[in-house]
Chain A
């Protein structure tokens, strides 16, 4: 018994000495919450890391409450000129005392310049291969330089900048303006023939005016960097960046992103401002939710080009009728429904035109075309990407009002 015990003890000691290679305390690591990539000034890349300051977030040791305030001081950024993304990780240890760790990274921010000129495709490699990155990270395209974007993008409501990033991106659930594609989908869509990815577009608040007059503009016509506003946090997230073969080819405004999301079932609901068909200058505001995923029917025409017909089904609630016109009665509802259909059809057509113009099938119509082929080689041989811009696409929209809100019949102002 004693002998057994001493052997066990010896073994434990040996293991203790030999083991623990990966033992590291969380306070011995620098937690990178976001990475930014820019075209370099003195090297290929300028990589920026957002590193959290946990003691400021947790409120320090002695159990005092968080420092509060405007989230300032809960993170700092380090920008360095490096040849590649991963060499930055090691360079960072020359600057930051703690070992840099990217396993908590939320955002991967590419500057628009980099995404357009060099493309982000070659950075997919490290993200899929290097275990600290994961496919659930969000890829963001920012206007301007990513280093400024990350440095100035301070949270107001949160102490933890990681939470700020996550909650900002979470907007995809309740607005149509933020595309859903995480790196996982971005990567898949880039690899798959017949679909193209859309990444969220972000920018810092633009201080100077964007538009010169106050003519009516649909709310979805904005996109990040062109959002007339005052106040709020520095970061704005709206619209998308369309990619083709790993390179950014164009931007989508808010409404176009909404249409793109509807084709992938990630559009939960949106609010639509429809011009009143009978009272110019007035708006009807309706709530729109998809009734079913768009029905796409693809045929290959005699010229070998695809002929696509899309049927979009929507439903929703009347939220407001500015003119006070009684559209709520069952016999008058079709008037309103047709107005909504017209308005939405315009959005869809705009989006389809944009995608054909860019040559990037970000609506995923090719995924439906795939069904026409029996084997993979046949499908690849068809070369969808080349044929898509010349495809004939017809769209029909069907909107039904299901609820009219709390008002039964409007009494016009007298």
Chain B
């Protein structure tokens, strides 16, 4: 550990952001989109990505007005401590609820798919041990771990996609419009919460190289959008519309049908790293970011005391749902639907406040 301020390079920043946004494609998130858009669901992630891009540009506009400060500090400066507490609680909720439901869901999946006799607490514990350790080591450790493991993730994901090519069917695109234009659009607009995780950019902003936040944000969203689109499209191609909606974990089923001769069957174990690493990175980021929000909120210099606190929150959240189905439904209802609009409202409020104060004679450091 260095005595210097941690630095997250552009590449690590992009990696961190896109994994944080898109790790949920490996969970049940995709299934909900498939329900909304029928066989034309693959359009939804594309629309979502465009909306996410707008959101990230808005966020960068807020951030660039205050170099060297993160979203909580900016809120403190612009909206005052009381309103900012509300904002920060929203940020915290995004991280903690996301991590909690993810923890629950991935643990349930591991129990269901790989370790049927193991109690879920053991699985949860092993996930927590890994993520807490890395989150505790700091943002640099989280970012570099993500950057190092992203190779494994991307290669396995692409392999997963490519190995299922023999199962792709061309007819699934028809009828072209799926449930109809309005249905698809409604599906897209009600699942924008996919991109609420761009919030991370606001937390790591002070550690990014000067003036690179927009680059990181845009590329993070674009790459995440690419994986979203692929991971919605490919299950449709393989399982075709009505069947695909019945799966809890489309990526898992994709891994299970891969069949390269008599030797290469039943390969889901090979793709276990995708689910485990993607979600562990997601959770490590969440734990760190949650702790960082708390540290800023309480104006402490070090996030470390809060990592364990956030872990406790997360674990408690994880076990509020009574079953795995509830966990995925709640995650969708609370995070993936409308939370993005709340974030956008906060951004707009902050921008408005900045404009008002800027006219009031305070420093105005606009510009990229």
Contact = CB atoms under 8 A, between A and B. Distances in A.
Indicate yes or no for A touching B, C-beta below 8 A.
yes
A376 interface: yes
A62 interface: no
B178 A375 contact: yes
Contacts of A170: 262
B159 interface: no
A81 B171 CA distance: 42
Contact of A375 (B115, B122, B180, B256): B180
A190 to B, nearest CB: 9
A330 interface: no
A55 interface: no
Interface string B163-182: 00001000100111111100
28 contacts: A18-B122, A128-B246, A131-B116, A134-B256, A134-B257, A135-B256, A135-B257, A166-B262, A184-B257, A187-B243, A188-B239, A188-B243, A191-B240, A192-B243, A367-B174, A368-B171, A373-B174, A374-B175, A374-B176, A374-B180, A375-B179, A375-B180, A376-B38, A376-B39, A377-B179, A377-B180, A378-B175, A379-B175
A134 B243 contact: no
Contacts of B358: none
A7 to B, nearest CB: 13
Interface in B113-166: 113-119, 122
A255 B209 CA distance: 68
B257 A136 contact: yes
A21 B118 contact: yes
Nearest to A104: B266
Given A166-B262, A191-B243, A375 B175 contact: yes
B179 A376 contact: yes
Contacts of B241: 192, 376
Residue in B39, B117, B171 with the greatest tally of chain A CB atoms within 10 Å: B171
B300 to A, nearest CB: 27
Contacts of B114: 22
Contacts, number: 77
Nearest to B183: A375
A370 interface: yes
A184 B239 CA distance: 8
B167 A184 contact: yes
Contacts of A87: none
A21 B180 contact: no
Give the dominant DSSP class at A's interface.
Answer: helix
A23 B177 CA distance: 49
Residue in A103, A131, A373, A379 with the greatest tally of chain B CB atoms within 10 Å: A131
B77 interface: no
Contacts of A184: 167, 257
A187 B239 CA distance: 9
A46 to B, nearest CB: 27
Contact of B240 (A104, A135, A192, A371): A192
B256 A136 contact: yes
Interface string B183-210: 0000000000000000000000000000
B326 interface: no
Contacts of A22: 114-118
Give the dominant DSSP class at B's interface.
Answer: loop
A135 B122 CA distance: 29
A187 B253 CA distance: 13
Interface of B: 38-39, 112-119, 122, 167, 171, 174-180, 239-243, 246, 253, 256-257, 259, 262, 265-266
Q: What's the interface size class on A, roughly? A: 20 to 34
B171 A370 contact: yes
B243 A376 contact: no
A342 to B, nearest CB: 30
A210 B204 CA distance: 78
B175 A21 contact: no
A131 B112 contact: yes
A166 B241 CA distance: 29
A104 B262 CA distance: 12
Contacts of B176: 374
B240 A188 contact: yes
Interface in A175-190: 184, 187-188
B262 A163 contact: yes
A166 B176 CA distance: 38
A197 to B, nearest CB: 12
A367 B170 CA distance: 10
Contact of A370 (B113, B116, B174, B179): B174
B213 to A, nearest CB: 40
A138 B176 CA distance: 32
Nearest to A364: B171
A397 B286 CA distance: 62
A409 to B, nearest CB: 42
Interface in A96-130: 103-104, 128
A63 interface: no
A373 B38 CA distance: 14
Contacts of B167: 184
A26 interface: no
Given A136-B256, A184-B257, 12 more contacts: A19-B122, A21-B122, A134-B257, A136-B265, A187-B243, A188-B243, A191-B242, A370-B175, A373-B175, A375-B179, A377-B179, A379-B175
B47 to A, nearest CB: 17
Contact of A21 (B112, B117, B240, B266): B117
Nearest to A376: B38
Contacts of A192: 240-243
Contacts of B175: 370-371, 373-376, 378-379
A320 B163 CA distance: 40
B177 A375 contact: yes
A174 B340 CA distance: 54
Contacts of B39: 376
Contacts of A377: 179-180
Interface string A124-155: 00001001001110000000000000000000
A104 to B, nearest CB: 8
A45 B153 CA distance: 45
Contacts of B113: 131
Contacts of A18: 122
